[in-house]
Structure formats: structure tokens, C-alpha cells
Amino acid sequence: MTIYTNKTHDQLSVGMEAEIKRLCRAEDFFIFANSSGNHNPVHLPHEDHTGDGLEDEPKAPSMWVASLFSAVLGNFLPGPGSLYKQQTLRFLGRAEAGEELTIKVRITELRPDRIACFDTWVEGPDGRRIVEGEAEVIAPEKQVTFNDEDLPGLTIRRHVHFDRLLDLSEPLEAIPTAVVAPEEEQALSGALLAAEHTLIHPILIGDREKIADVAKKLGADLTGIELIDEPDHDRAAALAVHLVHEGRAKAVMKGHLHTDQLLRHVIKKDGGLRTARRLSHVFVMDVPGLDQLLMVTDAAINIAPSLEEKVDITQNAIDLARSLGIEEPKVGVLSAVETVNPKIPSTIDAAVLSKMAERGQIKGGIVDGPLAMDNAVDVEAARTKGIKSLVAGHADILVVPNMEAGNMLAKELTFVAHAEAAGVVMGALCPIILTSRADDDKARLASCAVAALFHEWRKKP
């Protein structure tokens, strides 16, 4: 909370000055674009402004820079209660994201009717002037004190963590991927988009005529892409598994068929893709406002996992997190409360998982639980509860008590918190890419990027 106290017109004198410093951030440009309606790409990050195929550093919108004068005049000199009368502007230079700006005002004249005149200017980090001008302000008549405690915050709906995953996977060789039943627009377009980004080399398995019709609707060219004609979804899933055993495919991607149909062949004892590890699903989520990726497991396969199954679920998620560049993932084992309660079995499981990690039975991550959702991801919530833990408030992975809790949590993050969600099944001989019809292009790409990064990580000794 910041408290602002103004200066009335009677307290002002010529020569008074005030200044603030403001870091120029890319997030400010998105906010300005939305509030002003100015969507000029020269001001937006991750855009090619010059047409050379490369991302260019965004320029700060000049009117956004000029608007910073109001922060000094409205908060400090004269301060709360001031009203603009007029402002002239001369733009002398440009600012970029990452630069610290200094915004200055100086009183040059005091006139009747509480009019205060100012010189106003903004300096870049090297002292050069970016914009200058003159302002006339109606100064406040009465003393006013204001605090900004009730000012709502803003969260920018950006998915920078998925952008990072795509950048990490870009240099990797495309992995041959058996795409089962891509007979619907989202299913086929997702596979083709991943191929365009060289994340996967798709082998399409399904009804040839349906796939061709969908490609025609999409305006997509399937030349050079292997297509195996198998209209029966059950046999198509079995064929995808067989391609993995032959070494022709290194990943499997779900198309327009039920997940159960695909996984039935994956988990077969004879000829399936099972390993000694229990299969589990991991949502990799890019949640706006969080400083890191957040993983939720298991929200799609294990309905009511036992303690033994939770060990594999936890280890699968740790392995995936490490493949994505998280050196020592922090795992929060969730329950309704953060203390062990014999009447709540999930708290006992969480405590045992934590101890197993301490004893090296779960490797590669820091595991702590039970933790409630709030103190797993929020430092203040953990501090309020008096929880001292390397995980509390910083969890990279959330292990849920059961599939119902995980599914609800993942969907709440997606549809309420506007997270993007990638989905991968772990514990098989190869990554299984699960996408949903509700997934947009970035989520589909991220799922393929996650699979590619895990495939590459697993090749390392």
C-alpha cells in the first residue's frame, strides 16, 4: 500500500519539482493496446515489424510514455485532487522494453483560479529526452490523502512459459509420431501445425477418405506425409502401438477417438507400451501470473490411486519436469488440509511420499505434503499458516488425491484462470500426446514440444 498526500494551490511555489522512475515493461504495451485500441504491431512483443522474419524489440507507444506525466502530477505534485487543464507534447526519441524512464515535472508559473503550469519531460536511461512539453493543472483546494490499497491489480493473459518450451524444442529433430484417427479438423490441424514447427514427423493412421476431406477443408497439402488407411479406430490404435515396437514411431498422438480406445492398446500386457512404471497423465500448465510452469497429475487416468501408484505418478511428473529444464522440481502433494489427519487418507499418503523422497525412494525432486492448494502455490498463504518448507508457495508439480480433484483443478485453471494446458501420458515406452477438442493451437503445439523435450532428455545417459 502507498499513501499519497497532495499539496494545495496555496502550498505550491515556482521551481518546485517532482520525479518518479518507471521500468518500461512489455506488459505495459499489451495493457495500452487493449485500453487504447491501438494494436500497431511495432509496439507489441514477439512481432516482426520489419518483415525480415525475425522478432523485433517493441517500441514503447509514445502516448503511453506521455501518459506517465499524469502519474507524477496526480500522485505527487500537486497530487490527489489535481485535474488536467491542458498538455502539450513534443516527441524526441523512443523507449524500449527493459529501459528505466525518469519522469520529471517543474512548476514554472502559478495563475489565478488555482492554475499551476509545469515543464514536463521524460528521460531515458542515458539522460536523453524522449518527450517534453508543458502542462496546466487545476491544483487541489483542500488537503487530500489517498491510499491505493483498493486499486485492483491486473494479470496479463500471456503464455510466456509455453513460448520458452517451443524455443527449447525448436533445435531438436522432429520425432516420428503415430497420429491415431486425425479425422476431424482440430485433430489433423494440430498434427500438421506441429509438423510445420518441426516438432513431430507425423504418420497419419485412419480413414483415408475422411482425412483427405478434412485436409481439403483446411486447405492442407498432405504430400510427403505417410498415411496408413485404417478406418477402424481400435485397429488404428493397435497399429500405432505396433509402429512404436518396430521403431518407426517414437511417440503416439491421440486424434479423433476416445482416450480409452487408445490407452487400451497402450496398457496391454502383451504387445502394449507398458513399462515397470505405472502410467499417469500430466497436465503441463502455463498459468498467467505465475512465474513458472505448473504441472497437475494425475487428472485423466488413475481414478483413485493407491499409495504405491502415487509413487509412480510422482516420479513420472518429476522426470517430465526435469526434461523441461526444471533441475530439481518442487512437488506439492495436495489434500484439503496441510496437517496429517488419520481421518483423511490423502494426508497420510502425502506424508509418506514426502518421507520416501527424503529416503531416496522418489528421486530428482523435493516432495512435501500434505499441502492445501493455497499454501502450495502462494508464499503468503504458506507464511500465514506457519509452514516452513522448500516447496510451500513454490510448487512446480501438484500431485492430487484422485482423478476427480485433478480434473476439476486443471479445468478451473484453464477456464477460470485462463491457463493453457498441454497433456502427456508418462510411464509408457514412449510419450503419449493427449489433446482435447477444446485445445487451441498453442496448447497443441506445447503438448508436442513437451513430448519432444522428454524424448530428447530420455536419450541422455
Q: 214-250: per-residue pLDDT in tens?
A: 999 999 999 999 999 999 999 999 999 999 999 999 9
Please report the beta strands in 276-435, taking only residues with DSSP state E, as ranges in sequence order: 280-286, 294-297, 330-334, 366-371, 397-399, 420-426, 432-433
Q: 380-400: per-residue pLDDT in tens?
A: 999 999 998 999 999 999 999
Q: 195-210: per-residue pLDDT in tens?
A: 999 999 999 999 999 9
Quick one: what percent of the chain has pLDDT higher than 90? 76
Q: 113-155: per-residue pLDDT in tens?
A: 999 999 999 999 999 999 999 999 999 999 888 777 777 766 6
Q: HSE on the CB side for 65, CA within 13 Å?
A: 29
- What is the second-level CATH architecture of the domain 160-458? 3-Layer(aba) Sandwich (3.40)
Tell me the pLDDT of the chain averaged across its residues. Answer: 91
Ranges for all domains in the chain classified under CATH 3.40.718.10: 160-458
**If you compute the radius of gyration of the chain from its CA atoms, what whole number of angstroms results?**
28
- Asked if CATH classification 1.20.272.10 holds for the domain at 3-147, the reply, yes or no, is no
Please report the beta strands in 212-359, taking only residues with DSSP state E, as ranges in sequence order: 226-229, 251-254, 280-286, 294-297, 330-334
CB atoms within 10 A of CB 375: 25
Cα distance between residue 328 and residue 325, in whole Å: 9
Residues 6+ apart with CB under 8 A from 268: 241, 274
Cα distance between residue 266 and residue 385, in whole Å: 43
Ranges for all domains in the chain classified under CATH 3.10.129.10: 3-147
pLDDT at residue 30 greater than cutoff 90: no
Q: What is the mean pLDDT of residues 89-101?
A: 92
Q: 316-344: per-residue pLDDT in tens?
A: 999 999 999 999 999 999 999 999 999 99
Cα distance between residue 369 and residue 323, in whole Å: 23
Phi, psi dihedral angles at 186 (to 5 degrees): -65, -40
pLDDT-derived band at 158, boundaries 50, 70, 90: low
| One-letter-per-residue 3-state SS of 89-153 | CEECCCCECCCEEEEEEEEEEEECCCEEEEEEEEECCCCCEEEEEEEEEECCCCCCEEECCCCCC
Q: By C-alpha distance, which of 179, 200, 347 is closest to 255?
A: 179
Q: What is the mean pLDDT of residues 373-386?
A: 92
pLDDT at residue 35, rounded to an integer: 86
pLDDT at residue 51, rounded to an integer: 53
3-state DSSP call for residue 216? Answer: helix
| One-letter-per-residue 3-state SS of 173-188 | CCEEEEEECCCCHHHH
pLDDT at residue 214, rounded to an integer: 95
Q: 41-52: per-residue pLDDT in tens?
A: 888 876 555 554
3-state DSSP call for residue 280? Answer: strand
Cα distance between residue 155 and residue 345, in whole Å: 36
Q: What is the mean pLDDT of residues 244-267?
A: 93
pLDDT at residue 95 greater than cutoff 60: yes
pLDDT at residue 161 greater than cutoff 90: no
pLDDT at residue 47, rounded to an integer: 52
The cell numbers describing 70, all together, are 499524469
Residues 6+ apart with CB under 8 A from 458: 323
Range scoring the smallest mean pLDDT among 26-30, 282-286, 365-369: 26-30
pLDDT at residue 436, rounded to an integer: 76
Cα distance between residue 441 and residue 374, in whole Å: 30
pLDDT-derived band at 56, boundaries 50, 70, 90: low
pLDDT-derived band at 442, boundaries 50, 70, 90: confident
Q: What is the pTM of this model?
A: 0.78
| 63, 36 Cβ separation under 8 angstroms | yes
Range scoring the smallest mean pLDDT among 55-59, 75-79, 81-85, 170-174: 55-59
Higher pLDDT pick, 443 / 70: 70
pLDDT at residue 443, rounded to an integer: 84
